[in-house]
A and B are shown apart, each in its own frame.
Chain A
Amino acid sequence: TTIMAVEFDGGVVIGADSRTTTGSYIANRVTDKLTPIHDLIFCCRSGSAADTQAIADAVAYQLGFHSIELDELPLVQTAANLFKDMCYKYREELMAGIIVAGWDKRKGGQVYTVPMGGMMVRQPFSIGGSGSTYIYGYVDSSYKPGMTKEQCLDFTANALALAMDRDGSSGGVIRLAAVSEKGVERSIISGHQLPKFQSS
């Protein structure tokens, strides 16, 4: 798995590959690892598919109730904290690396990473999953603060394509989503449309 999220002024861009494996068999080559938790809050799931699906369902439940009670859209920080609470409490039993990203009216676009172990920290951009190890160099050198939404989409697509080229557990299609006050725009990059590099 390779997952990624980038903040921009007015929202976030999130992206993931689409490969789920049991051993070397690809159980699902068109997986959707970008899961909505609320109208404008998503999470990128890496690690055990079962664990992350169960956690995402539980957080969606808690956030849904919280939001109805408040009569307001929930904060991304709240969602991230709910993930963190669950991932930390059950850290011994779970294998889940999650990136929480979304938009709220208090702080705009935000990305919070909740890696295995249950820490939580906000970052301008975040990468995760087994494929992320191959692209630390690329993202660290390519990232510039103050990118536009389109630049973020290109940055994410390139990074994911490079990771999918090198990591055996990542591949398939690139799923992207741009979340802002206006809503969610989902897109997909597959096959020949994948970004190409000199090496590949």
Chain B
Amino acid sequence: MRAAGGCVCARAYCRGLGSCASVLLAHVIVRVLPAHVFVRVRVAGACVGIRGKDIVVLGVEKKSVAKLQEERTVRKICALDDHVCMAFAGLTADARIVINRARVECQSHKLTVEDPVTVEYITRYIATLKQRYTQSNGRRPFGISALIVGFDYDGTPRLYQTDPSGTYQAWKANAIGRSAKTVREFLEKNYTDEAIATDNDTIKLAIKALLEVVQSGGKNIELAIIRRNQPLKLLDAKEIEHLVAEIEKEKEEETEKKKQKKT
């Protein structure tokens, strides 16, 4: 019996709401979700995550707020526990649900096994949650990609990325959201051992990566860092301005050096 709603699959339980289109293609290519889900992520604000040696950094592009809007209510970097945090690109409302479930799971894990979650565990939990919504009918997938960073209790820094399909991978540095490809290419060129030698350098690399796509510089950047055994810290506007100024000075010095070499 064919359900209404335009779904072409012949499954009896399908209510025709469209989320199974992916299954038809799944055996041909890697699971391809309804395109509109990924579009949400692609037009969302840019996010970058970098894994350093003793620090992990998350940077997001802050959407400019309307004149009458209170700025502090738009937070795209959220702590999941004392040692893990995530940034997302996509539908904010969907993110709120995922973050809530992840926070509960962090506490539940601590209660049952008496250990804080590892970054991989909570990433797997979030990814499994997202995947469930791609395979049951009547529900649409979560429209967010997430970058999850933190330190495991053995001190190893971690960075993971999840996407609406429910897959997750570990990364040394990655970007999601608007112009993610541009930012990722910048990171591929510039993520070297010297570039992340110190905590400060790692933070500057994240800012440099975001500046590739963010207009009007430091004002539109929100930055969060976690150092080993320390809680999440959000850098305030002054610190970001200071770092942006340092970066611009370095850029000028680079161009000066190149000019001198030529002459």
Contacts and interface: CB of A to CB of B under 8 A. Distances in A.
A61 B81 contact: no
A68 B108 contact: no
Contacts of B104: 65
B111 interface: yes
B80 interface: yes
B135 interface: no
5 contacts: A61-B108, A64-B81, A65-B106, A68-B106, A69-B103
A168 to B, nearest CB: 32
A71 interface: yes
A69 B104 CA distance: 10
Interface in A34-72: 57-58, 60-62, 64-65, 68-69, 71
Contacts, number: 25
B107 interface: yes
A72 to B, nearest CB: 11
A65 B111 contact: no
Nearest to B82: A68
Q: Range of interface residues on chain B?
A: 10 to 19
Contacts of B106: 64-65, 68
Nearest to B234: A71
Contact of B81 (A60, A68, A71): A68
Interface of A: 57-58, 60-62, 64-65, 68-69, 71
Contacts of A65: 103-104, 106-107
A71 to B, nearest CB: 7
Interface in B80-107: 80-82, 100, 103-104, 106-107
Given A65-B104, A69-B100, 16 more contacts: A57-B111, A58-B111, A60-B111, A61-B107, A61-B108, A61-B110, A62-B107, A64-B81, A64-B106, A64-B110, A65-B106, A65-B107, A68-B80, A68-B106, A69-B103, A71-B79
Interface string B182-225: 00000000000000000000000000000000000000000000
Contacts of B82: 68
Nearest to B111: A61
Dominant secondary structure of chain B at its interface with chain A:
helix
A55 to B, nearest CB: 12
The 10 A-B pairs of least Cβ separation, nearest first, read: A61-B107, A61-B111, A65-B107, A64-B107, A68-B103, A68-B79, A65-B103, A57-B111, A65-B104, A68-B81
A62 B110 CA distance: 11
Contacts of B100: 69
A71 B100 CA distance: 13
A168 B201 CA distance: 62
B90 to A, nearest CB: 21
B98 to A, nearest CB: 14
A61 B103 CA distance: 11
B198 to A, nearest CB: 28
Contacts of A60: 111
A110 B77 CA distance: 32
Contacts of B110: 61, 64
A18 to B, nearest CB: 22
Contacts of A62: 107
Contacts of B79: 68, 71
Contacts of A58: 111
Contacts of B80: 68
A88 B25 CA distance: 56
Interface string B67-86: 00000000000011110000
Nearest to B84: A68
Nearest to B81: A68
